[in-house]
Amino acid sequence: MITLLIDTSSNCNVIAIFQNGDIIAHSLFNSKSNQLICEIDALLKKCQLNKSDIEKIAIGTGPGSFTGTRIGVIVAKSMNFALNIPLAPFNSMALYIPQCKAGFTLLRDAKSGQFYQLSGKWENNSLSLDSPSLINEASEDVMCDDLPINFNAIISLINNVKPLTHKEITISYLKNP
C-alpha cells in the first residue's frame, strides 16, 4: 500500500511516502504551504509514482499553525475527493514521538503564551496517546519541534486509524476550557 503523509502544522512542512509500512522518501521544507502541491509532485516523481498510485493519505490535523494546517488539510481533502483516496488523520505532534519504551510528554509553542501538550506511552510495541491539551506553563518536558521526526510512530498510528472521507476530517483546534 502506498501512503502519502502530509503535515503543514509547523514552520517545517513534512511530506513522506510509505510503501507497505516502510518509508521510501520524505521531504522537509520551510517554505510557505503554497508550495505543497509542487513538493508532493516532486516527491512522487522522485519515487516514480503517480497520484493514482496513492492508496491512503495520512494528514496531520494540528494542533499548530491554523492557516498552515488548513492548507495541508485542504490539499488532502481535494485529493480524497478527486481521486477517491481514503484519509487517515493524525495529531501533528505525533511526528515527534520519541522512540522510547516509556511514557512521554511533548510540547509545542501555541504562540499565545501557552503550549500544546501531547502525552502518551508505548506498551507492548503499541502506542497510546492521551487527548491533546492546552496548558499555560511549560515544565521540563520536550519541545517537539526540536526533536527528529519519528516516522515509525506515525506508521504505527495511521495503520490503526479508520479511513475517513473529506467530509469527516476536522482540524484540531484547542481552546481554553
- pLDDT by residue (tens digit) across 56-70? 999 999 998 888 899
Domain count, the chain: 1
pTM value is 0.88
**Is residue 146 included in any domain, yes or no?**
yes
pLDDT score of 167 more than 80: no
Length of the chain, in residues: 177
**Is residue 169 included in any domain, yes or no?**
no
Q: Find the mean pLDDT for residues 47-59.
A: 96
pLDDT score of 117 more than 70: yes
The pLDDT, as a whole number, for residue 123 is 82
Q: pLDDT grade, residue 173 (50/70/90)? A: low
**Is residue 100 included in any domain, yes or no?**
yes
Q: Which domain holds residue 96?
A: 2-158
**Is residue 177 included in any domain, yes or no?**
no
**Is residue 151 included in any domain, yes or no?**
yes
Q: Find the mean pLDDT for residues 156-172.
A: 76
pLDDT score of 176 more than 60: no
How far apart are the C-alpha atoms of 72 and 77, rounded to whole Å? 9
pLDDT digits 0-9 by tens, 72-88? 999 999 999 999 999 99
Closest to 84 in 3D by CA, of 26, 19, 163 = 163
**Is residue 95 included in any domain, yes or no?**
yes
Contact 69, 11 (CB under 8 A): no
CATH of the domain at 140: 3.30.420.40
**Is residue 167 included in any domain, yes or no?**
no
